[in-house]
Amino acid sequence: MTFLSGNRVRRTPAMRVLRGVVGCAAVALIIYALSMVPYDILRAERFRIYGESFTTGVVTAVRAEAATSEGSRFFVDYKYVDADGLVRNATARLPHEEWERYRPGERIEVLYASQRPAVSRTPGEIEPRFQLWLRAMLR
């Protein structure tokens, strides 16, 4: 709002305090929102944009965690060899039906990021909804 005359709108002390409180709340909300961003997922998907390579790995261990509020969680530890010839170890969280199929020493399909071979996943792995959404948006 532009005032051409010398008369400015004066804010009352209560209005100044209210503006300060609203401003502080807005800054706190922005900082909280930024702290909740899953940067590890963003970083992994950024590397996957440049392509994924397919390889076959070997299951090293099969384990289950005790029941939580989400139910039991099932993990498969595996190792694979990337394009540089380095052996990499990783863990995948799988649905119970997939998890039951694997035993130590069996083969498992592995997709790893071409730009960062340490970032890997298996087909059928349980991933956060945000990660699936982000992957779809980036492709």
Q: Find the Cα–Cα–Cα–Cα dihedral 45, 47, 52, 53, rounded to 10°.
A: -140
Domain boundaries, the chain: 41-138
Instruction: Name the pTM for this structure.
Output: 0.70
Tens of pLDDT along 65-118? 877 666 788 999 999 999 889 999 999 999 989 899 999 999 999 999 988 999
CATH of region 41-138:
2.40.50
Sign of the CA dihedral with 124 first, then 57, 91, and 120 last:
negative
What is the Cα–Cα distance from 28 to 108, expressed in whole angstroms? 45
